Amino acid sequence: MASTGNGLDYDKEQELKAFDDTKAGVNGLVDSGIQSVPKFFVAPSEETCNEKPDLRHAHFNAPIIDLRDIDKDGVRCEIVKEIGIGSSKWGFFQVVNHDIPQDIADEVIESIRRFNEQPNHVKEVNERSFDALC
C-alpha cells in the first residue's frame, strides 16, 4: 500500500484494478458524474517534470498491421499476435492492405464513434482472447 502523504493508506493497485474491472474507461468516469480526478491518475510532484518536451521533431509510429499475406500458412496467427501487441501496448494500430473501400471504412469509424458515445450499461464489453482466433 502506498501512503497518500496525509497518513492514510491508499492502495493504488486496488483502485486501478477496480477501475479496470468496470470496463468503462475514462468515458465511464465522465458518465458517472465524477467531480474530481481519481488519485491513480495524479502523479506526485516529485515524479513529474516541469520541462515541456519539444515534440515538433518527435516521430511516433503506430504499429502497422499488414494483411497482404493473411492467407499464407502461419501468417494469420502472426497477424493476430501483432494486433494483440498493438492493442495492449499502444491502444491502437494501423491496418494496411485490407482491400476495404474508403466509404465502408468511414462508416465503420462512424459506428465506433456512436458505440462509444452510448451509456455504459448499453456498451458492456465482453473480453475475448486473441488465442481463440488462431
User: How does pLDDT run across 85-125, given as a tens digit for each residue?
Assistant: 989 888 889 999 999 999 999 999 999 888 878 877 777 66
Distance CA 92, CA 84 (A): 10
The total number of residues written for the chain in this structure:
134
The stretch 48-54 carries a mean pLDDT of 68
Q: What is the pLDDT of residue 95?
A: 92
Interval 24-35 mean pLDDT: 81
pLDDT band at 131, cuts 50/70/90?
Answer: low
In this model, does residue 27 exceed pLDDT 60?
A: yes
Flag whether the pTM goes above 0.85: no
**Residue 134: which pLDDT band, with cuts at 50, 70 and 90?**
low
Q: Furthest-apart CA pair in the chain: how many Å?
A: 60
Pick from 75, 69, 88, 97: nearest CA to 130: 88
